[in-house]
Chain A
């Protein structure tokens, strides 16, 4: 999934995957922090956004 998204020009880091068990609370916090940081660093998404007004 990630590979083709990045291949067509979605920034690396915009799409992320993880696998966290419900017992892994520290991993959850850790992953969320990392994802938030990397997405903040990328700034607002400008590529994969629909520009024509109404939805659908």
Chain B
């Protein structure tokens, strides 16, 4: 994917030079090894800072929330799906955006560059679902991947083992909130964790509060999460919090045949009512 960068720079430079956009959201080399960091380029002479490789893990849709200017954004498959979410949720308008699509070959694991990041290994939408320009030919999508093997493993456990699995999963979480800050879906001006009237959840690292934070955040992402993996990539403690969001993703898929962020023409399942919505859970 390193070969993409020439084209990315060329498009970015053109868009900035002819005034089509005021800024380009992309990645530049980070200060931590094997991690590129998001950046906003506003001058054509700065496009040289842009980079592209397998360490562009964060989701750039996160930097579009509520922007008013014309922006170009570099978008992998998952970023493009979160951009679709943002358009549906009125966080940015399609007209403001020039989407530079990146046919993605997967990001590598931040702790082991030899293997793909877990979510990328099972990603079904590597090509951007929405774009104005492309920096390379589209890639072939992965087929016959089993997206939910890990979820089914937990589903098969006994109740107490499930409890213990998540207890263990969350050990070490410091409530630093890097995960929610990296997530493009988490844009509420005041997150429920910060509210004090009422205070929904304790502020410390009591295991119950940590768990409540994670499972409630997952619910707020239900039907919206694209499994982009930015949350896990951002976590300094290597917590695998996608175990929460993936269960909901699987349920949305099975109950409503829904995959988030594929089209701007359809309202998400938790935002619409259909007479044939499943209601088995209601007594």
Query: Which A residues are within 8 Å of any B CB, using their own CB?
Result: 1-12, 16-19, 31, 34-35, 47-52, 55-56
Chain B 146-178 interface mask (CB, 8 Å, partner A; 1/0) = 000001001100011111111000000000000
Q: Which chain B positions have C-beta within 8 A of A12?
A: 159
Q: How far is the CA of A19 from the CA of B277 in the complex (A)?
A: 15
Say whether B202 contacts A50, CB under 8 Å.
yes
User: Cβ of A19: which chain B residues have Cβ within 8 Å of it?
Assistant: 282
Q: Tell me the smallest distance from the CB of A12 to a CB of chain B, in Å.
A: 7
B209 within 8 A of A: yes
Report the 7 A-B pairs with minimum CB-CB distance, sorted nearest first.
Answer: A9-B163, A9-B162, A18-B283, A50-B208, A8-B166, A56-B202, A2-B281
Minimum CB–CB distance for B134 against chain A, Å: 37
For A31, the chain B residues whose CB sits under 8 A away are 283
Q: Is B199 close to A, CB under 8 A?
A: yes
A47 near B163 (CB under 8 angstroms)?
yes
Q: Say which one of B32-40, B79-87, B117-125, B244-252 lies at the interface with A.
A: B244-252
Q: List 24 A-B contacts (CB under 8 A).
A: A2-B281, A3-B248, A3-B251, A3-B281, A4-B244, A5-B215, A6-B159, A6-B162, A8-B162, A8-B166, A8-B211, A9-B160, A9-B165, A10-B163, A12-B159, A17-B281, A17-B283, A18-B283, A19-B282, A48-B208, A50-B202, A50-B209, A51-B208, A55-B202
A52 to B203, CA, bound (A): 13
Contact pattern, B 266-283, Cβ under 8 Å of A = 1, otherwise 0: 000000000000000111
Interface size class of B (residues with CB under 8 A): 20 to 34
Instruction: Say whether B251 contacts A52, CB under 8 Å.
Output: no
B159, B208, B247 — which one has the most chain A CB atoms within 10 A of its CB?
A: B159
- Bound-state Cα–Cα, A50 to B162, Å: 18
Residues of the B chain whose Cβ atoms lie less than 8 Å from the Cβ of A11: 159
Interchain CB contact under 8 A, A3 and B247: yes
Contact, CB under 8 Å: B283 / A34? yes
Q: Is the CB of A56 within 8 A of B203?
A: yes
Min Cβ gap B219→A in Å is 7
| Chain A, Cβ-Cβ closest to B205 | A52
Of the candidates B199, B244, B251, B283, the one whose C-beta lies within 8 Å of that of A56 is B199
